Amino acid sequence: MKRNLFYSLIILITAVSCAPKSASHRKKPNILIIYADDVGYGDLSCYGASAVQTPYLDSLAKEGLRFTQAYAEASTCTPSRYAMLTGRYAFRNNAAILPGDAPLIIESHRETLASMLKKAGYTTGVVGKWHLGLGDGKPDWNTDIKPGPLEIGFDYSFLLPATADRVPTVYVENHRVLNVDRQDPIRVDYNRKVGDDPIGLEHPELLKMAADSQHSGTIVNGISRIGFMAGGHRAYWKDEDFATVFGEKAKDFIRAHQDKPFFLYYALPHIHVPRAPNPKFVGATKMGPRGDVIAEMDAMVGAVMQTLKELGLDKNTLVIFSSDNGPVVDDGYADQAVERLGDHKPAGILRGGKYSAYEGGLRVPMIVRWPGEVQPGTSNAVINQVDFFASFAQLAGVSIDQQKTAPDSENLLSALTGKSAQGRRSMLQESFTMGLLDGDWKYIAPVSKKTPDWLADKREETGLQQEPQLYNLKEDPKEQHNVATQYPEKTKELGEKLEEIRHKEY
C-alpha cells in the first residue's frame, strides 16, 4: 500500500510539472517597444500601402493585433517620446522639439517606464534615437555626459543623441561618446559656426543631397545638418550604417539578458530625414530614398524578431510597433520624396501629417504581438501611447500613485492585448496648438502662440487656425467639414473640457 501511494505521488508530481503553465504563473513577459520615426498611418502595406511592401511588419500584424485608432501623444517627436516614457502629457513639461545640445528634459526624480519596470525585476535598455536631451546644461561631449537614460531607469543605452539631421553626429553609449578622441575634442554650437569643417551654405558642391537653409550647417558624411560642429571626426557616424549598428546593439542587449525579463525601447531612426538607406536597400521601391528607408526599417523589425525566435523568446515577449507621429514627405532635404511619391498616401485617408493637429499627424500605425495572450486580428479601440505606462504597471504588478506618477495614463491593458474593445473615451492632443478627441468628436483650439516661421505657409494643412474647429470623425474621417459654428454648444463644451485638463496640476 505504501508502495502504491509512493508511485501515485510520483505520477501526480510528474503530471503537475509537465502541465502547461497558466498565464498567471508564467514568467513575466519581456517587453519590446519598436518605435519608428515619422512613419504614417498609410506607410505600411498592412495598413494599405502598395507602393512599398513591408513583409516583416505584415507578418507581425498577421500574428498580432493591428490597431486602427492608436495615437501618438503629439504630432512631433520629442513631446510624444516624453509622454510615452512618463505617462504625462508633454505640455506639463513644456516639452517641444529639442536642439541637439539640450539638457535632459525628464527630471531625474521622475518615474519612467524604465524605472517602474525595474521595480518589477526587469533589466532595461534603450537603443536608437533619444531626442530627450542629455546632461544638465550644454553637454561636454568629451567626457561623461549625465544625467541621461541611466539616471532615469535604464540599465543600458546606445543612442543617437537627438536626430540624424542634427549635430552632434556621434553615438553615445551609456555616458560616453563612442570613439571620443581627446586630441580632437568635440564642440557643438547651434548659433554660430565653430571650427573649420565645411558647412552646406558655403560648400553645396560637397553634398550628396541639397538642403534648405535650416539644414545647411556642418557637413558630415556628405550631408549638411542643423547646427555646427567641430572635432570628433573619429566618432562620426555614417547614416547608411544605422540599420546595422542599431540592429546589432538591440540584438546584443536581448542576448545578454535572455535569462530574465527585459524591457527594450528600440527607437528606430527611420524614416526621419536625412534618408540615406544602406546600398542594399537603394532602389527597393520606386519612391526613392523615402520608400527605400521604409523597406530598410521593415527589415530592422524582421531582424530583431528573428533574434527573439532563435532564442526561444518570441512567445513570451510583448512586442509593440508604433510611430512617434504622422508622416512628412518634404522635410528639408531634396531627396525626391515629393517627385516620386506617385499614388502613395503616407497618411492613408487621413488629413495632415507631422506637425499637424489633424488626424494624419497623430493617428499612427500600432501592432501588438504576444502569442497566446494577444488574439490576432484588428482592434478599433482608441488608445494613446501615454497609456503604456499604466498598462505596463498592471502587467508587471507594480502599484503606482497616479496623482504623482503617470497622471495622464490610463490602464488599457485589456484593450492593448485585445481582450476588450473598450479604449479611451477622450484624450488631449498636442501639435503647435491643442486639441481634444472625445468619442466621435474632435475639437482643435485656436492657435494661441506664434506659429514657427517654417510653418507659416502651411496653416491649412496643419490645422493651425485662428478660429476653433470641430469635426465629427465618424461622419467626416477626413476632417473636411469644420462644424464648429453649427454646433456651438459642443464646441464650447469640448473647449472647456480641454482647458480643464490643461489647468489641472499634478
Question: Is the backbone peptide bond immediately before 168 cis, with ω within 30 degrees of 0?
Answer: yes
Give the H or E element holding residue 264.
Answer: strand 262-267
What's the CA gap between 74 and 114, in Å, rounded? Answer: 21
Q: Does the annotation mark 46 as catalytic?
A: no
Q: Give the integer Cα–Cα distance in Å for 124 and 113.
A: 9
**Which of the residues 18, 25, 46, 77 is marked catalytic?**
77
Helix axes 289-310, 55-63, angle to 10 degrees: 50
β-pair type (377-379, 123-129): unpaired
Using CA atoms, how far apart are residues 70 and 77, in angstroms rounded to an integer? 16
C-alpha cell at 41: 498611418
Cα separation, 23 vs 413, in Å, equals 14
What is d(CA 300, CA 56) in angstroms, rounded to the nearest whole number?
9
CA neighbours closer than 13 Å in the CB half-sphere of residue 114? 25
The grid coordinates of residue 252 equal 546584443
What is the DSSP code (8-state) at residue 473?
Answer: T
Q: Which candidate in 18, 109, 131, 257 is catalytic?
A: 131
Residue 430 sits at φ, ψ, to 5 deg, of -115, 135
Quickly tell me which residue has 503617470 as its cell: 406
Give CA separation, 302 vs 81, 276, 298, 338, 345, in Å.
Answer: 23, 19, 6, 28, 24
Give the angle subtended at the CA of 253 by the CAs of 252 and 258, to the nearest 5°: 100
Q: What is the Rg, in whole angstroms, of the alpha carbon atoms belonging to the chain?
A: 23
Place of cell 531627396: 335
Please name the residues in contact with 381: beta carbons below 8 A apart, sequence gap of 6 or more.
67, 69, 412, 415, 420, 421, 422, 423
Q: How far is CA 50 from the centre of its chain?
A: 24
Active site (annotated) includes residue 77: yes
Q: Just list the catalytic residues.
A: 77, 131
